[in-house]
Structure 1
Amino acid sequence: MIYICADDYGLCSTVSLNILKCLNEGVLNKVSAFVNFDKISSDEFGAGDNIALHLNLVEGRALSDLKGSLLTDEKGNFKNTFTGLLKLSLFNSKRLYEEAYREIRAQLHAFLKIFPKGEGIMIDSHQHTHMIPVVFKALLQAVSDEKVKVRYLRIPVESFVPYIKEPSLYFTYSPINIIKVALLNFLWLFNKRHFNKNPLPTGLFCGVFLSGRMDERVKKIIPHYIRLAKKKGDALEILFHPGYTDITGNKENVVFKSFYLSENRKKEFDTVMDLKG
């Protein structure tokens, strides 16, 4: 199975509409949705087989009562970045675990009210925060306690091999993204032992190395990933952010506005639409 995924559905109406266009007219076959921003509906997704929960601990309003906690400010808005959560996991791990566990359960409940999943749920997270070991453990525990059947869990561990095989692209790679990939791969070393106790369906992943600019270059990278997935007998997820917009409204809890307003999101939209050809 190859998943062509778009994150951030439900951020605002424009982002959601552009993602739906990719779903209906492009090659997109997986959409990852927030449950803590705009109200979302199952009407656009039929049986909802292609919709995933985009767990969110860094932006927007918490669904559980966490006002003035490690995770949120006094208004209940999330206040940490990935880096901030990682620091908390090192120095206040017990409390972070408890708060993350409570919020993950709340978001699971909200998602399953909209998309009841008898055949299983797909899960990933905003900014890949579930890869922080404390959060990862909280997620596994919440899924177990809620008796949620998981059909697919994103593990954003990215192989460097496909990128090494394209020398013509070497000088186009972002050093920051390379560091992100290395960090996520490193964190997986800690998460893997917990995951292997009760493994969940997952697959190979592509999407951080070129994050923010999944443009024409990805057409050279994808074939290498497809061959790698076939060799391993694994599923493959390719992540895009095609939900571009020119306005996010006056939401005070939308933290990463510059990312959502970036012209590169329109380029990612165009890339997803072009892949159909």
Structure 2
Amino acid sequence: MILCADDFGLSPSVSVAIIKLLEAKKISAVSCIVNESKSYSFYRNLNNYQNNVDLGLHLVFTQGSPVSRNLNLSCGFVDKNGYFLDLKLLYLKCKFRSLNYQLVKNEINSQINMFKDLTGMYPDFIDGHQHIHQFSIIKNALLEVVNNIYDKKRIYLRVGYHPESPLGKIKNIRLNTFGSYIISNLGKKLYLELDINRIFKNRFLFGYYNFKKVKHFRSIFDYYLTFDLQHNDIIICHPGFIDDVLLEKETLVDWRLDNFNFLMSDYFEGLINQNKIKLNRYVFNDNFF
């Protein structure tokens, strides 16, 4: 399976925590945010791991400001101060097609180019912060960009599809939030569209949970190990230390430290060994389609 640490670049403290996990070989993928300049200096630490883990773009449309410049309210995805909208407002804007498609596409291209500037490579995969890459207009723009940029280059898109949710609703109460709808329902739609576009994708996505209701990531991880995990299943985690930059963005932060402590624990190591789990990069199969 792929164990992916999300939000590298969100803050210096989150970036440092993920680097420590890379050093300890606790994760096999990292998803990177590129619209926070205070974290840019940490990207050079990723150079040592480009051949060992998947490095992806964590596309952002709900936090901070865009990478592309000179945007105003007419683009549909920033407020009067030039900052991205919150998740629910962005979702409604996408649902009612109130975003400028060309400017959405430009922002996606800008974030990909920033990733390339910071790492010296194109992303191995692309996903979305808060799963926004599954929203209609953003999804369509992303598919167009990927088809144009990558051509025959290998890339996969992360799909938020959960095996417990064939009808679009995750049964486990610990997972049932507005976010679970984004993961399960919209993820299934993207799953089918990627098949049509012949773009590689993961099988299932695990690791999402309501951190307001669940105190320890350990219990969620234990739960997901009850599934028959395969090499292209992804478990996401959100490890991090705490600093002022993070506290400016989030009011609830202890869950990130809990994620980190769990992954660095002897319990986690024992769990991996006991269940004979191998942490791997994405496995491309040319017979996938």
The answer, yes or no, to whether TM exceeds 0.5 is yes
TM, length-normalised to structure 1: 0.80
**In structure 2, distance between residues paired with 1:243 and 1:116:** 24
Q: Which residue of 1 aligns with 2:207?
A: 207
The answer to which of 208-217 and 18-27 deviates more is 208-217
Please say if 1:88 is aligned against 2:96: no
**In structure 2, distance between residues paired with 1:197 and 1:215:** 35
What pairs up with 1:9-48 in 2 under 5 angstroms?
Answer: 9-25=8-24, 27-37=26-36, 38-40=39-41, 41-46=43-48, 48=50
Q: 1:270 aligns with which of 253, 261, 267?
A: 261
Partner of 2:264: helix, strand, or coil? helix
Q: 1:124 aligns with which of 120, 123, 127?
A: 127
What pairs up with 1:118-157 in 2 under 5 angstroms?
Answer: 121-147=124-150, 149-157=153-161
1:112-152 Cα deviation digits (max 9, x unpaired): 1223337x621111111001122111111111222363432
Question: Residues 75 and 39 (structure 1 numbering): CA distance in 2 closer, same or farther, change over 3 Å?
Answer: farther
TM, length-normalised to structure 2: 0.77
Q: Which residue of 2 aligns with 1:236?
A: 233
Question: Residues 9 and 89 (structure 1 numbering): CA distance in 2 closer, same or farther, change over 3 Å?
Answer: same
Q: 1:220 aligns with which of 207, 219, 222?
A: 222
Q: Which residue of 2 aligns with 1:70?
A: 76
Partner of 2:155: helix, strand, or coil? strand
Question: Is residue 61–residue 77 contact of structure 1 (8 Å, CA) maintained in 2?
Answer: yes
**In structure 1, distance between residues paired with 2:232 and 2:80:** 42
Unaligned runs of 5+ in 1: 162-166
Question: Residues 154 and 64 (structure 1 numbering): CA distance in 2 closer, same or farther, change over 3 Å?
Answer: same
Instruction: Give the residue type in structure 2 aligned to 1:142.
Output: V
Partner of 2:161: helix, strand, or coil? coil
**In structure 2, distance between residues paired with 1:270 and 1:60:** 27
**In structure 1, distance between residues paired with 2:242 and 2:183:** 28
Question: Residues 54 and 236 (structure 1 numbering): CA distance in 2 closer, same or farther, change over 3 Å?
Answer: same
Please say if 1:158 is aligned against 2:165: no
Instruction: Give the residue type in structure 2 aligned to 1:97.
Output: Y
Q: 1:248 aligns with which of 225, 245, 249?
A: 245
Please say if 1:106 is aligned against 2:135: no
Question: Is residue 11–residue 245 contact of structure 2 (8 Å, CA) maintained in 1?
Answer: yes
1:17-71 Cα deviation digits (max 9, x unpaired): 1111122125112111111103142333325243211111111121112233311
Unaligned runs of 5+ in 2: 166-170, 271-289
Q: CA deviation at 1:273?
A: 1.4
Question: Is residue 194–residue 200 contact of structure 2 (8 Å, CA) maintained in 1?
Answer: no
Q: Which residue of 1 aligns with 2:250?
A: 257
Q: CA deviation at 1:75?
A: 4.1
**In structure 2, distance between residues paired with 1:138 and 1:211:** 31
Question: Is residue 4–residue 31 contact of structure 2 (8 Å, CA) maintained in 1?
Answer: yes
Question: Is residue 10–residue 34 contact of structure 1 (8 Å, CA) maintained in 2?
Answer: yes
Partner of 1:195: helix, strand, or coil? helix
Q: Which residue of 1 aligns with 2:275?
A: none
Partner of 1:146: helix, strand, or coil? helix
Question: Is residue 101–residue 137 contact of structure 2 (8 Å, CA) maintained in 1?
Answer: yes
Q: CA deviation at 1:218?
A: 2.9
Question: Is residue 133–residue 190 contact of structure 1 (8 Å, CA) maintained in 2?
Answer: no
Q: CA deviation at 1:195?
A: 1.8
**In structure 2, distance between residues paired with 1:150 and 1:138:** 19
**In structure 2, distance between residues paired with 1:89 and 1:59:** 16
Question: Is residue 22–residue 28 contact of structure 1 (8 Å, CA) maintained in 2?
Answer: yes
Instruction: Give the residue type in structure 1 aligned to 2:205.
Output: F
**In structure 2, distance between residues paired with 1:146 and 1:109:** 11
**In structure 2, distance between residues paired with 1:106 and 1:197:** 26
Q: Which residue of 1 aligns with 2:285?
A: none
